[in-house]
């Protein structure tokens, strides 16, 4: 979608469920397509429960004027769910991050209690999104964030941007220019690794790994370029899985799962 097109169709009609990461990513792709196409048609989920869920998380709110959806947006009887749900939100400035911090804290406290390591992990994820999307990523849509508590299973937080991505950003530093995408994403999670040759930089993603790892049973999934890294923690044991996505991942897609 890097070149101007007359019409773009995004297909989600057969989807049965979307986790926060997929919700953020799909809306990001809609917004990106709207910038380069004269008309964007979003084929919304046929499954009524999912279509209503997308309306509940404000997926359909403030769509660009050239975007059409194939079904009417459901009318909802909204209830206050601030301790269970963070509707789709956009980060463009540090002020946005400050406003979002309180909402993420509400959800984390509702799930894990005040002052928990899980609450700290959620706050760190927001800070990492700010560093990547605002300072490094040059994302044309900012960063999209969403979070959801699941009954009896835990909390999931997602941050998605469509910027340069971790590999391309890190290679701006001559010290990392020859890294593969997988190696770049792995190195980006280490303290002090940055796209600039300046001491004291590069703590954002490293802090994310540190705090998610302290949260108990947790998973961090990070995709960018031709790389996907999944880190898991369970009963004090850490695991790492590297893979190459089936298709190139534009920008940086982060998902944090904190189990109850």
Into how many domains does the chain fold? 2
Final residue of a structural domain among 21, 41, 69: 69
Q: In this predicted model, what pLDDT tens digit does every residue of 211-230 receive, in sequence order?
A: 788 777 889 999 999 999 99
**Are residues 218 and 161 in contact, defined by beta-carbon separation less than 8 angstroms?**
no
pLDDT given at position 191? 79
**Are residues 182 and 242 in contact, defined by beta-carbon separation less than 8 angstroms?**
yes
Confidence of residue 204 (pLDDT cuts 50, 70, 90): low
In a domain, 80, yes or no: no
CA distance 68 to 132: 30
CA distance 92 to 144: 9
| Residues 90 and 134 reside in one and the same domain | yes
In a domain, 76, yes or no: no
In a domain, 53, yes or no: yes
What the block records as the tokens of 169 is: 């950003």
| Inter-axis angle of helices 204-213 and 117-130, nearest 10 | 160
In a domain, 158, yes or no: yes
Q: Please give the share of the chain, as a percent, with pLDDT higher than 70.
A: 87
CATH number at residue 132: 3.30.565.10
Give yes or no for residue 1 having a pLDDT over 60: no
| Residues 65 and 89 reside in one and the same domain | no
Structural domain of residue 49, as residue ranges?
5-69
Q: Is 182 helix (H, G, I), strand (E, B) or coil?
A: helix
CA distance 225 to 207: 22
Q: What's the rounded mean pLDDT across residues 193-199? A: 57
| Residues 61 and 168 reside in one and the same domain | no
SS (H, E, C) 196-241: CCCCCCCCHHHHHHHHHHCCCCEEEEEEEECEEEEEEEECCEEEEE
pTM of this structure: 0.90
Sheet holding 143-150, edge to edge: 85-91, 143-150, 154-161, 249-259, 218-225, 227-234, 237-243
In a domain, 75, yes or no: no
């Amino acid at each position: 979608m890097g070149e101007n097109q007359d019409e773009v169709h995004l297909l989600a009609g057969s989807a049965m469920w979307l986790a926060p990461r997929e919700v953020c990513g799909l809306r990001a792709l809609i917004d990106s397509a709207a910038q380069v196409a004269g008309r964007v048609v979003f084929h919304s989920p046929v499954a009524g429960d999912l279509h209503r869920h997308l309306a509940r998380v404000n997926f359909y709110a403030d769509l660009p004027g050239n975007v059409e959806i194939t079904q009417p947006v459901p009318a909802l009887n909204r209830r206050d769910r601030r301790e269970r749900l963070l509707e789709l939100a956009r980060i463009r400035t540090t002020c946005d991050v400050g406003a979002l911090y309180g909402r993420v804290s509400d959800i984390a406290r509702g799930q894990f209690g005040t002052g928990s390591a899980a609450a700290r992990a959620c706050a760190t994820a927001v800070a990492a999104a700010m560093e990547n999307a605002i300072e490094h990523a040059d994302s044309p849509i900012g960063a999209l964030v969403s979070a959801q508590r699941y009954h009896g299973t835990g909390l999931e937080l997602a941050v998605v941007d469509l910027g340069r991505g971790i590999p391309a950003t890190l290679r701006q530093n001559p010290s990392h220019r020859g890294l593969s995408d997988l190696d770049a994403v792995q190195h980006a999670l280490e303290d002090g690794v940055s796209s600039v040759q300046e001491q004291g930089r590069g703590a954002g993603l490293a802090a994310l790994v540190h705090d998610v790892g302290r949260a108990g049973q947790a998973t961090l999934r990070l995709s960018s370029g031709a790389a996907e890294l999944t880190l898991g923690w369970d009963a004090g044991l850490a695991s790492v899985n590297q893979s190459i996505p089936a298709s190139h991942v534009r920008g940086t897609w982060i998902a944090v799962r904190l189990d109850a």
